[in-house]
Each structure stands twice: as C-alpha cells, then as structure tokens.
Structure 1
C-alpha cells in the first residue's frame, strides 16, 4: 500500500464523463483546532488534523492518495489512503447517490429550492483507511453569482448521533479588498479531457457569519440549549491563502447570549493540491496531520475524564435526540421490529370508522421517508379529516414497545418528557395529538 501511494501517479482521474462546471478544486487543509471554555469553568486544549475541501459534484481519484465519491467497488475505495464518499453525509445511506444528488435531496426536504445554489463546496475530515472521526462537516452553498449565500453544518456527537443545520449567511462588516480578490472570472479545467471546468467564487466580504439554535446533545457537560454563532472564510475563493488564516470561528452561546466556548480552526500553511504534491508530501501529510487526527478521540476522552474526576463540571446523561436529528445506527433487532410497528399502525388506521390520517415518521436512523396512512372513510374531497403525526426519535423504542402489556400503555409512556437535566422536554416518541391516537388504537381494539 505504501509503495502504491508513492509510485502510482496522483494525476486527477475523473470517474464521470459528464461535463461539469464546479466551484474551487480539491485541497488538503492541515489545520489546528483551538478550543477555549469560559463557563462554567475555564479550560482549553488544541490539536491538529487534516481536513479536505472538495467541489460538490466532482467524482475523481488522485492515484491511491485520494478518492472522491468512488462508487466502483469496495476494493477501489479500500486501496485509497483518503476517501470522501456521499454515503456518510447528510442522511445516512443512499449509496447510489453522489454528493450533489444528496445535497439536492436534503434541500428539498428542507422545503428549499436546490437551483438557488448551483455551486457547493464541502469541508470535512476524510476517511483514513476507512477510519473517520468527523465532528463537524461544512457545506458552503453559492448562488448563481458565485457568492457564498448559505451553509449546512453537520454535527456528529460521540454517541453516533447527528443533526444537519441549514442556515443563510450574512456578509461581514469588512468588504474584501480589491487587491485580494484576484481574477474571479477566469475558469480552468482540472483534467486533460477538459470535462471539469472550475471557477473561483466571487466573495463580497472577507468573512461571512451565521447563527443557529443548538438542538443536539453535543457534549456530556452541555445542555441541549443555547445557540451557535459562526464566522468563516470563503474556502472557494481564488486569492492566495495565508499561513495562520482562521478558516472558521465558532462561539457557543448560552440562552442569555453569553459566550461559553470558542472554537477556532486555523490553517497551518498553504492548502495542498493533491495533483501537485511532491514525492514526499503524502508521507508528511499522513505522519504530521492524519495520524494526529486519528488520535484525537482518545485525547478528547481523557480530557473529559479529567474534567469529570476533578469535579469541575457535572457529566449529564445522554438524552433522546430531538425532532429533526438522526439517532445512532440501529441494531439488527431494531431494524427487524420497525416493520411490525408500522404494520400495526396501518392496521389500526384501516380499522378506524372515522376519517383520520396518521403521518408516521420512522426513526431517522432508519429512513428519511414519511408515511401517510388514511382510514377508509377518508376521501380526497373531505375537509373533516383529523390528522395525528407520530415521529419515533429514539431507535431503542422499537424494542421497548414490545415489552409493554398494551400498545397504548407503551406509546403513552414513551411520549412523556424524560425530565433529564440536559433536556427536560426530550421524548422517545413525539405525537402531535395523543387523544386522537388513543382513540384510533382503542377504536381498533373495541372493534376486535
């Protein structure tokens, strides 16, 4: 594997013959993360790791160093040191969809028009021989004028849960100097076949900013509340990169707006083009940046245990995910029991004498589909149909529900607020109209 990395050409080889117009080009970003906590105690640490930026929609391979959306075979991906594949981003799965297709699908689910953002750029931590620890992934979305207009942040916690945040961005106070803007109209081809035409973005500000509410249990020391304020550079900009440039600055705010934590990601030198790297560059990338990133997880665990043992902060119990988040990967038993629960709901609805509709949202760890179940008395012209939405939030719900004496006893118990310190209002299952659901289930039982 080591010899193949050095001896095989790292010249770009496209995996799609379709002509494309993309923004930016693949770049390797050696970065350092500086984390400072101000409240309730003061604490700080720093570590370094490797991030990669790629134009969304590009499918290519750079020898055995980097594979981007390589869907040819498991062996083709396994022989590459660094990989970025669409399967692990946004909604999990959908192996047949590339990054651009997954992005469009996600935006439609958010009731947004994908055509508003014809260009996108991704910043993430690549897989290293199928190992990955990507806490945050950023999607930079650009409008038709090639200006940064919106962002998607994927937050992954240590419990295998994730949440995707979409938000529009605002320009910073400082307009970008004309001397740094460069030739933003020039386009270049990234391959010899002239199929991937790359252009630089056209920023109007030196940085952009955006804020979103934190609805995920990101740390055992933090409640599920407050907000996240972000400030970031435009990564697809064609201007020369400067060492120690701050790519991203993230502030964690309390519900009162007080800054609790600051996370800063700094670029340690000029980003590297994988197609123009020297003979020894891959080894340096692996030893200096990739392997330290692999060791990040045990370091964070030790830091958390140090804080816990010294009694500096209280470690709270994990809560069920909120609506809109994605739970951990389901177990085999949970996958096998979900169809039975779905069939039970469908049978209850089909036996209801009243015009009712049940909107069933399976746990997002299983699927991102939404199922509509309507009783026989319903008609397309009816205006008196009552509707109840049932969303399963916690994957273990499917195994727990089978242990109750009745289905209603289980549902009424699982929909109660947990009262946990980190998120007192969290639930295992969200029901919009409990009374209507009880009537549907009891009507079925009485009919039997």
Structure 2
C-alpha cells in the first residue's frame, strides 16, 4: 500500500511538472531512476547472480547461447565504428576545404626568456624588475612544436585526430576580439585588420609575441603583434593590453620614425630595425593612473635580418601625463636569443621548467604585491575603474547577462520594425560570441536605406549594460538618464543619435498578462516586486516580450526568467553579488536532494513498519518526492 501511495504522489507531481516544463520533467524522471538504481545496485547484482545461478542449474546456458549474443554485438560495434570513422573523415575533409589557403611564413616558433623593468617617476618614485617568459608564434602556423610549445590546436581541422596540447600553448580564443575562430589566429587577425580600415594582404607575414598558457593558466598583461610586408619590413604593430578586470584594448600602430629613449625623451630613429609610435591613453590599466595622458612605444624588430633572426625582443612603453611629463617607463627585453622548441630534448625541457615553471603563476601575485607597496608605502591616490570606452572590449559576460542579451536582441528588432524611426538601427552587442552586429529597419523605411553608415548605432560597451537594463522598469527612462549623465566613466553604452534612441521604446505594446500561463504570471510578479522605482510593481515590456517568445525560443526564455530574479535578489541580500545567491541556492538544493534520498530508504521498508512509523515515513516520502521537483524548480527560479 505504501509503495502504491508513494508512486501515486510522485506521478501526480510529475504530471503537473510535465504540463509546464516537459523537458525538465523528463530530466527529473531520469534522475530519479538513476538515483534509485545507484542506491539499490546491490539488489540488482543479487538479482543478476540468481538468474545466472538458475541458468547454470537448469542447463539453459550453452556456448552457442554465448556466441549467439557475442557475435551480433561485435558485428554491430564494428559497423558502428566504421560508420563513425567515415562520418568524421567526411566532416574533417569539409572542414579543411572551408579553411584559409595555406600560408608560408618564413618565421618559426620560438621561446624568449625575458625580464621586465618598471620605473615610476612621479608622484612618488618606485621601481621593480623580475623575470618573464614570452613565446613567439608565426601567424598561419598551427600545431605542435615538439612536446614543448603548441599553437591553435583547438582550431585545427580534424579535431578527433589533433595532437595533444604541449606544455606551453597559445590559443586564438585568448586574443583580439573575444571568441574563437575556425581559422585560428590568422582569421582573427585578418578580421581585426579589416576593422581598422586596413587590408590584410598588405601584411604578408605576421608574428605574435605573448605570454603562453602553462598547464592551461595564463595571465597576460600585454602582447605584441608584428606585421611585415612582402619584403620583410616591419610596417605595423598591434599592442594588445589586458587589465586585471578582464577588459581589453588593442592599439593598431604604424611606424612614426620617432623613438623613445630610456629616460623617456623623444629622439629621431637612426635604424630601420626600430619601430616607434605615440598614441593617446584611453584604457584603464592601473588604479594608480588616470585614463588621461599618452603612451609611446619604442620596439626593436626581432627579425630585422630579412625575417631570419631569433631576437632579441626589446620593447619599451612610456606613459606620459596629460602635461606631457614622462610618468612611467615599462620595458620588456629578452635575456638571450630565441630558443627553438623543436630542438628541446626531454632533459632540456626538464631543466627549463625547473627554472621557469613558476613565472607565469607569479605574474598576478607580483602585480598585487607592487600595488600594495604603492598604496600602503607610497600612499598614491587610487583611481576607481571607469567603464570602458567604445574602442575597448568589456569584461567577459556572466550567464545572467548573456541570457538577457539574447532576449534583448529580439526585443530591439521587434521595437525597431514596429516603429516610425527615420533611419535603420545598427546593433553591436557587448557579447561578441552571440552572433554579431546586425541592422534592424522600420517597416516605414525603403530597403535601400539600410546602409550601415546611415544607421543609428547602439553599442553596449560592457555586459553590465544588460544587468542595468533589467533593473529598470522603464527602458526609455533608463536610456535617457544614462545619456544625460555627464560622467562618461559610468556610461555602459554608446550611440550616435542620443535624441532618437529612447523613442524606439516609447511605444512598446502592452500585453495582457492575464492571458499568460500561471507559471509565467508568477515569474512576472516576482520580477516586478523585486525591482526598485516608482513603476516597480508592473512588469517591463522586455519581461512580457520574453514570455511571448516561449513557443519559438523556450530555452532562451527559461534562461531569461532566472537571470532577473538572480540579479534582483542579489541586490537585496548580497550587495549585488550573484555568486552569493548561487551558493545559497546550491546549498538549498543539496538539502532537498538529501531529503529525497532519505525518503528513498523508507520506500522499501514502508509496508513492514508499524502504523505510527508508516505515517511518519509517508510524510517523509511525500516531502522527498516534492524535493525531486523542487530541485529542478529552484534551479529554474534562481
């Protein structure tokens, strides 16, 4: 009787769950069956042993019976293996055909043992020097250089046959615009050069000098790209800067013919092996420097002897104040010629890592240590991090910001198409891995008016834009107040037509929430109640739009519903820290899982217990069955 009641309770709850979320209910059912199978696996083994014993005692077992099972199984496995191998080979061949043409680069991968020096002149003097490890990667080369160094393995065609990652590795996903590229570093470099209104074919050869990943870890403050023409002359460089806030800025530089001496003074270059350029500072790197001033680069061409040298690397970056006084000089230089990783024996690798394995791991702690000296000993003023400008790349998005961004793209498209906007809207998301830029046009505009140079540009500069957007119940007010704020350090988006942007969302169609399913009305009410502001008790048009997408984009809608609840809940209980909410939710889900597992122990013994214990066990079992569903529901909620 107890087993029947337990099955009835679970089936009733599961049917309710299945009505609103069939995918989640199916996963719940599989999870319960797996949990029961794992808990009572000993009983299953005993059952198999009894069947086996019965077969032996009654003579049913025979070798023909064994062969009758084994041969068809082996045949099926061989056919499946052959089919899979043919399918993978076909996919790999297609992948190779879609790749870029093979590039012949005379440069070779190298390892550069280096040192870096930093000297600060004012407002307080400070200096430090430590060892640093760089590697050089010829762009267009992908694969391993022995077991010591590898590049772009993840973008190699034929991933099922790709070699293992070496000790030191460089992957395209870590450089330039975020996200990976099927063509690796070469594809990403070509795309970036085009974005700078340059032609990739003008730079026949290119070389990247950067800090590699070691055992999957890397903290890479700056990387240098060397771009050469067909004659082997260094024509341009890309300085790629990363700060400790996971933000990035690339500077495309052409040789100016003016170098910078070690004392910070400008001087005329006398050697074609030197490269120099000066540009304005617009990226926040150190909390002890403002975003004003300028940078100067003086670099040696490591391959000045017609692309057949091996160093040295010697680059000096000088930070000047807004009054053109040299404020800080940072130099990185190799202590020996580049080492060929293909010539390393196992003994060479062991000796090298005995001296250098810790350098990459120590980069970030060293930065923190020097920052502590500047703050506590030198008493330098701290400049709080401003939001990045439109030329920079914001930090990596959180899952909540990504979920909101997916719905916002559809919402923006719908609003523009139903508006009377006199020009198209070009949307450049702050999450590059989610599709890309897109142009939306009003239904009142002719098709020939969709050229990008005529469009209203909306470019979120940081994923924080989506989190701030969802916290506001009124989107036009949020956009207007942000644009009216004169402090550019707090801006999270950029637009070319500030006066027109808010009008896109002024006439959002109000939906009748009474027609929404019950679960959607509950979510909308929770989100509206958690918001702050005069209109907080009403769901925003973006919330209602997301609910209406359920039929076509169910996964996106489910992710969106969780995102505002997490963000808004964190504002109340965790000072806006979503990981605190995640930790609390995980602890509660573990408790529900434990309660459910406890009830499974009562399931088998329920009928043999006394009435009083059986009632207690039934209550425990019912709560446990609820726990299975609440596990999933709580995960959907937060």
Specify if TM > 0.5: yes
Using the size of structure 1 for normalisation, the TM-score is 0.82
Q: Distance in 2 between matches of 1:58 and 1:330?
A: 30
Greater percentage in helix: 2
Larger radius of gyration: 2
Aligned-partner SS, 1:304: helix
RCO higher in structure (CA 8 A, sep ≥6): 1
Contact 1:349 1:356 in 2 (8 A): no
Contact 2:179 2:433 in 1 (8 A): no
Q: Distance in 2 between matches of 1:295 and 1:383?
A: 51
- 1:256 to 2:323 alignment: yes
Aligned to 1:363: 430
Q: Distance in 2 between matches of 1:368 and 1:264?
A: 38
Aligned to 2:465: 397
Query: What is the Cα-based RMSD across aligned positions, in Å?
Result: 2.9
Aligned-partner SS, 1:321: coil
Match of 1:324 among 379, 386, 391: 391
Q: Distance in 2 between matches of 1:328 and 1:275?
A: 36
Q: Distance in 1 between matches of 2:354 and 2:382?
A: 34
Task: Report the Cα offset of residue 159 of structure 1.
Answer: 0.4
Match of 1:407 among 471, 475, 480: 475
Aligned to 2:85: none
Aligned to 2:496: 432
Task: Report the Cα offset of residue 75 of structure 1.
Answer: 10
Contact 1:327 1:365 in 2 (8 A): no
Aligned-partner SS, 1:93: coil
Q: Distance in 1 between matches of 2:386 and 2:368?
A: 19
Task: Report the Cα offset of residue 125 of structure 1.
Answer: 0.6
Q: Distance in 2 between matches of 1:74 and 1:300?
A: 39
Given the superposition, is the C-alpha separation of residues 335 and 65 from structure 1 closer, same or farther in structure 2, using an over 3 Å criterion?
same
Structural mapping, 1:151-190, within 5 Å: 151-171=237-257, 173-176=268-271
- 1:52 to 2:135 alignment: yes
Aligned-partner SS, 2:282: coil
- 1:97 to 2:161 alignment: no
Give a deviation string over 1:410-440, Cα, whole Å, max 9, x none. Answer: 2223334473xxxx55511112222212223
Task: Report the Cα offset of residue 356 of structure 1.
Answer: 2.8
Task: Report the Cα offset of residue 106 of structure 1.
Answer: 1.0
Q: Distance in 1 between matches of 2:282 and 2:410?
A: 31
Given the superposition, is the C-alpha separation of residues 20 and 344 from structure 1 closer, same or farther in structure 2, using an over 3 Å criterion?
closer
Greater percentage in strand: 1
Contact 1:330 1:365 in 2 (8 A): no
Give a deviation string over 1:32-63, Cα, whole Å, max 9, x none. Answer: 00000112211011111210112110113123
Contact 1:354 1:375 in 2 (8 A): yes
Task: Report the Cα offset of residue 373 of structure 1.
Answer: 0.9
Task: Report the Cα offset of residue 213 of structure 1.
Answer: 1.9
Aligned length: 400
Aligned to 2:153: 70
Q: Distance in 1 between matches of 2:122 and 2:401?
A: 39
Structural mapping, 1:261-276, within 5 Å: 261-276=328-343
Aligned-partner SS, 1:106: helix
Q: Which runs of 5+ in 2 are unaligned?
A: 1-95, 259-267, 512-540, 542-638
Given the superposition, is the C-alpha separation of residues 235 and 383 from structure 1 closer, same or farther in structure 2, using an over 3 Å criterion?
closer
Given the superposition, is the C-alpha separation of residues 36 and 62 from structure 1 closer, same or farther in structure 2, using an over 3 Å criterion?
same
Task: Report the Cα offset of residue 235 of structure 1.
Answer: 1.8
Match of 1:124 among 200, 206, 210: 210
Aligned to 1:150: 236
Contact 1:325 1:364 in 2 (8 A): no
Given the superposition, is the C-alpha separation of residues 83 and 262 from structure 1 closer, same or farther in structure 2, using an over 3 Å criterion?
same
Given the superposition, is the C-alpha separation of residues 32 and 371 from structure 1 closer, same or farther in structure 2, using an over 3 Å criterion?
same
Given the superposition, is the C-alpha separation of residues 367 and 137 from structure 1 closer, same or farther in structure 2, using an over 3 Å criterion?
farther
Give a deviation string over 1:215-252, Cα, whole Å, max 9, x none. Answer: 1111111111211100111122347668xx56111101
